[in-house]
Amino acid sequence: MTTCLVVDDSSVVRKVARRMLEDLSIEVREAENGAAAMDRCAEAMPDAILLDWNMPVASGPDFLRALRQREDGAAPRVIFCTTENDLDHIAAALEGGADEYIMKPYDAEILREKLEAVGVLKAAA
Amino acid sequence: MISPDDFAFFQRFLKQRSGLVLGEDKGYLLEARLLPIANTFGVSNLGALAERLRRPGATALEEAIVDAMTTNESSFFRDKTPFEAFRALMLPTLLRKRSVDQPIRIWCAAASSGQEPYSLAILLREEAAAIAGRKVEIVATDLSQEMLKRARAGLYSQFEVQRGMPVQLLLKYFKKQGDDWQIAPELRQMVHFRSLNLLSNFSALGAFDIVFCRNVLIYFDLATKADILSRIAKNLKPDGYLVLGGAETVVGVTTSFAPVAQQRSLYSLTQGQAPRAVAAA
């Protein structure tokens, strides 16, 4: 089963994302900040990571940097999922090793398309 | 923002009138589609529009709302397949067949809010090395002046630019304008927008190498579909391509076109049809 780690300091946001992902038959785990996300990845590397930008303890970019330095950290497809919606943030995310970028608010269709775009989900025929 | 009561009201109205099921997460769609109508009817928000709709005798308003909400939502690179076929098959084939000084002409016959022609413009930029400075012309037509105005401006909401388009392309070809995103001027200049009714004579547009006519024939009856397709055939070069929507076909509608083998939604002129009329254009 495809797995996705949802990293966001808001439990409500995590819950909404969880519901959308589970509708796509994706198994979901959650982390409330970048440090907790590293712990989850050390336990088991997910196929995809939905990553918030601003979080306490360790931010999205902090986490991404640490993840991509891990030997097994190149594999997960990382999709930023944030209210930061300007070109500078998008450019910085891609330079930092993110694969895609979702600007909040978003809906189930955008999430599905982005997962398809990074190859985590197979495109509907 | 729309109140939950008004949202539920529009949901019920649309279900009853058109069978359209509007999901709870589609508040943005309601606003995107109905705010222009609210303006046309002289009210400033969806609450006031709902109020108008509740009054008896609001027939014109009812029709406008159903029309706006049931028109297929457009998106960049919609359905993906035709754009992949454009990049991998149609464009390289035409670049090989046409002489260097012969422009390649593309017609988007139902351009709507512009995502289709702009998706092609983006692909042409991405394939700049293969095109090597050769001229490619995109003519984009639509019936609706409102749509053409939007398309020319090249302004899209945050939702629209996230539909179907990789973020890398957003980064390369768009600039933020307030809450919206605007496609770069050099891409806007690549597309010639003009108003056109497919029911009228369009032979003056000249001969094209590729015609995109997606998700518009579904609104016409069989005889009209056949008429439009046979006239498109006359505006297509003998070895040109016709691209229809995913749910559309020429089978049982016209003999002017036949499906291209192994290529979904792609059609070419049938033999014997090809030479006539086109040469003159």
Residue boundaries of the structural domains of chain B: 4-70, 81-280
| For testing contact with chain A, the best of B1, B28, B162, B265 (most A CBs within 10 A) | B162
> Average pLDDT, stretch B168-181?
96
Q: Between A and B, how many CB-CB pairs are < 8 A?
A: 37
- Residues of B within 8 A of A86 (CB-CB) are 176
Interatomic CA distance for residues B214 and B107, integer angstroms: 11
Q: Is the pLDDT of residue A90 over 90?
A: yes
Q: Give the residue with greater pLDDT, B20 vs B61.
A: B61
pLDDT at B25: 81
Q: Is the pLDDT of residue B178 over 60?
A: yes
Q: Which chain B residue shows the shortest CA-CA distance from A89?
A: B171
Query: Which residue stretches of chain A are H helix?
Result: 11-23, 34-43, 60-69, 87-95, 108-117
Cβ pair A103:B80 closer than 8 A: no
Q: Which residues of A touch B (CB under 8 A)?
A: 85-87, 90-91, 94, 100-103, 105-110, 113-114, 117, 123
Instruction: Out of 3.40.50.2300, 3.40.190.10, 3.10.20.30, 1.10.443.10, select the CATH number for domain A3-107.
Output: 3.40.50.2300
Question: What's A121's DSSP letter?
Answer: S
> Average pLDDT, stretch B262-276?
77
Dihedral angle computed from the Cα positions of residues B106, B109, B112 and B118, in that order, rounded to the nearest 10 degrees: -10
Region of B192 on the Ramachandran plot (φ > 0 left; ψ -120 to 50 alpha; else beta): beta
For domain B81-280, give the fold: Rossmann fold (3.40.50)
Distance between B174 CA and the closest CA of chain A, angstroms: 9
CATH 2.60.40.1180 fits B4-70, yes or no: no
Interatomic CA distance for residues A50 and A7, integer angstroms: 6
**In this structure, are residues B115 and B74 in contact, taking their beta carbons and an 8 Å threshold?**
yes
Q: What is the ipTM of this complex?
A: 0.92
Cβ pair B25:A107 closer than 8 A: yes
pLDDT digits (tens, 9 = 90+) for B25-84: 888 888 888 988 888 888 889 999 999 999 988 888 887 888 787 665 679 999 899 999
